Amino acid sequence: MTARPWRLAILGAPALFLLVVFFVLPYGEIVMMSFRTPSSSAPYGDGVTLANYARMFADGHYLGILAETVAVGASITAICLLISFPIALHLSNVGDRWHTLFYACVVSPLLVGVLVRNFGWMIILSFNGPINQILLALGLIDRPVRLLFTVEVVVLALVHVFIPFMVLPITTALRNIPPSLYEASRSLGAGRFATFWRVTLPLSFPGVQSGVILVFVLAISAYVTPVLLGGQFVVLMPTVIVQQLIAAFAWPFGAVLAMILTLSTLTCVLVFAFATRGLARRAAIGRTP
């Protein structure tokens, strides 16, 4: 397999090029920027300093926002998982004829552009939008309530669009479980629930793990939805970072916030992967002879 390294190099070259130009270089720039002094005439000054980091850690405000961002990301991930597992279970069971249809339903949130989707939410949730009218008509409320610009709505909208990222890996994992394992479990005296608990759930774990990591990373870094549906009532890290960069023109401090967000996300993912590594390794359905 190691016979022709130059071939591999040629195959990998375009990807490597893109990675370097659009990922490694900008990231290097951000890392460097976070150690520079601010400047009013250029993105950053000439001096090298740790003051930006000191300011970040001294100010409880930013750490609070970071904590809230992680908490919101975690809730979105957890809700996504709870909703997606039954969907994946169903999707892994339907026959080939219906499979495509269900599949299309699951990925449908991704078929609508991010702006259109969020303006859709704004229309639905506005003061005289359909939700308020229905609630009024049912007599559940006396006058329209403010639904928009709450953290719940941001969570709802993000859960909606991230569900495919949770459903698809779990479905794949479930489809990889040989049906004879369910039969073996049942014939050994385990009922449906015990079989689900002891066979289905553990063996779907590789899919759950990918889904959780994917959704968490996406949720933490979401920008457009929190801005549009959360307004100034929901302030999360990506919003603050953009404010610092664009509005306050404080590029070095914005870079610090971006660094901290990235490192926090990375830490969360690594802790999660490490804590569940045993389960993931065992559940990986190997090549059985």
**Cβ at position 150, least distance to other proteins in Å:** 41
**97 near other proteins (CB under 8 A):** no
Tokens in use for 10? 């040629």
What residues have CB less than 8 Å from 66, skipping those under 6 apart? 237, 260, 261, 264
**Cβ at position 287, least distance to other proteins in Å:** 8
Hey, which residues between 16 and 75 contact other proteins (CB under 8 A)? Answer: none
Which of 41, 128, 180, 232 contacts other proteins by CB under 8 A?
180
Distance separating alpha carbons of residues 76 and 218, to the nearest angstrom: 10
**224 near other proteins (CB under 8 A):** no
**286 near other proteins (CB under 8 A):** yes
CA quadruple 65, 68, 74, 78: dihedral positive or negative?
A: negative
Which of 33, 159, 167, 203 contacts other proteins by CB under 8 A?
203
Distance separating alpha carbons of residues 118 and 124, to the nearest angstrom: 10
**198 near other proteins (CB under 8 A):** yes
Burial of 128 (0-12, 13-18, 19+ CB in 10 A): exposed
Contact 264, 60 (CB under 8 A): no
**191 near other proteins (CB under 8 A):** yes
Query: Considering only 126-134, 217-225, 248-256, 275-283, which stretch makes contact with other proteins by CB under 8 A?
Result: 275-283
Using CB under 8 A as the criterion, which residues of the chain lie in contact with other proteins when the complex forms? 178, 180-181, 183-191, 194, 198-199, 202-203, 279, 282-289
